[in-house]
Amino acid sequence: METSSNTDARIRPYRIDIAQDELDDLRDRLARTRWGSEIPGTGWSRGVPSDYLKALAAYWADGFDWRKAEAELNEFPQFTTEIDGQNIHFLHVRSQNPAAVPLLLVHDWPCSFVQFVDVIRPLAQDFHVIVTSTPGTGFSGPLAETGWTTGRIAGAFVELMDRLGHSAYGVQGTGGGAWIATEMGRRAPDRVIGIHVNGLITFPSGDPAELDGLTGPEQERLARLENFQQDKMGFNAIQSTRPQTLAYGLHDSPVGQLAWIAEKFKEWTDPAAELPEDAVGRDRLLANISVYWFSGTAGSSANLYYEAGHDAGAWAPKERGTVPTGVAVVLDTDVAIRRFAERDHHITHWSELERGGNFLALEQPDAFVADVRTFFTALGG
């Protein structure tokens, strides 16, 4: 990717500093929430239950300490730069290990760079850790224009690593971040030394022979994928078709933003966790949601789904990836099937984990760090 002549290539230090009047406004809006009715006895089957959401909103207003979360996030060196006309926010934590390899961590929606706060320091023992905020998300700010497809984001992140002076590096992607990570490998196979992913989605090609001999657990994953596509994709249908309409409600109502993200954490975390905060911790959940709220990126993050859904290139046949790729699969939640993954990627590492969900770095940080280390150690990194 070439940097356009009108792009400011400077890297600027960044510090999170949410104005007090924005905190006061959040509390005021939460206090004035117009709560709707709910059909009794429906639980989570039709969305977020009102009793749960009321309690979580009350804690967000009067229990959650944003200033504490802000100070913790600011312990990591943060920067912004402009790439292809878009502001990009990122963390860059340099290791004291002289043999450290640069490692880029890429989050997915509805997470933010908060997804990786518990794994940065352990990983920094072996890696120079770079954590991006996806364009249109968090402190990268709203999208500057249309056209920010997965491929364009991958190209911007390749440019970012070049700009930081990293000529050879690894990439880790979670969920939607896995799409970006693997695309980076296709675009810069001479620079990306390895790709580690979790929450990978693998689709059958349509050839019935491809399904022959699937193991019982693999058949369960395939059924899980079909169920997800049929019953769990309401958010995608809205965000990929009418993101701007959705944005008005989420941008104006903190409870709307809270419910929209909390529901995904309920569905995509360890099924053994009764509530989202049982999987990731209530303060981590609210820190992540607060980043969306204070950055005003509910609408632009939804627009990323529109871009993906209307990007013909995203679904066009691609050559098999050549970069060594490691996959961490959570047995009870993931849908990745190895033969489908090997069809599309150069799989050199495959691990199956007993516990966790899509947000593995938040849910099981020790297991996440161990698997990343194992994969890159085997590559000589």
Structural domains counted in the chain: 1
What does pLDDT average to over the chain?
94
pLDDT, one tens digit per residue, over 295-315 is 999 999 999 999 999 998 877
| Model confidence, pTM | 0.95
pLDDT digits (tens, 9 = 90+) for 187-246: 999 999 999 999 999 999 888 899 999 999 999 999 998 887 666 678 999 999 999 999
Query: pLDDT digits over 75-90, tens only?
Result: 999 999 999 999 999 9
Q: Say if CB 134 and CB 183 are below 8 A apart.
A: no
The domain containing residue 285 runs over which residues? 67-378
Nearest alpha carbon to residue 346 among 212, 192, 223: 192
Nearest CA-CA partner of 132 in 99, 108, 100: 108
Residue 144 lies in a domain: yes
Give a yes or no: residue 12 inside a domain: no
Domain contains 16: no
**Cα 79 to Cα 15: distance, rounded to the nearest angstrom:** 8
d(CA 283, CA 51): 19
Q: What is the pLDDT of residue 3?
A: 41
What are the tens digits of pLDDT across the range 256-290? 999 999 999 999 999 999 999 999 999 999 999 99
Does residue 107 sit in helix, strand or coil?
coil
Instruction: Examine residue 249 and state whether it is found in any structural domain, yes or no.
Output: yes
Give residue-wise pLDDT tens across range 145-174. Answer: 999 999 999 999 999 999 999 999 999 999
User: If DSSP states are collapsed to H, E and C, what string results for 128-154?
Assistant: EEEEEECCCCHHHCCCCCCCCCHHHHH
- What the block records as the tokens of 108 is 């997915």
Q: Which of 320, 340, 319 is nearest to 329 (CA)?
A: 340
Q: In terms of residues, how long is the chain?
A: 381
Residue 351: in which H helix or E strand, if any? strand 346-353
| Residue 94 belongs to domain with CATH number | 3.40.50.1820
- Which of these, 116, 103, 119, 101, lies nearest to 367 by C-alpha position? 119
pLDDT value of position 7:
62
Q: Is residue 53 part of a domain?
A: no
Pairing of strands 346-353, 324-330: parallel
Residue 30 lies in a domain: no
Is 266 within a domain?
A: yes
**In-domain check, residue 276:** yes
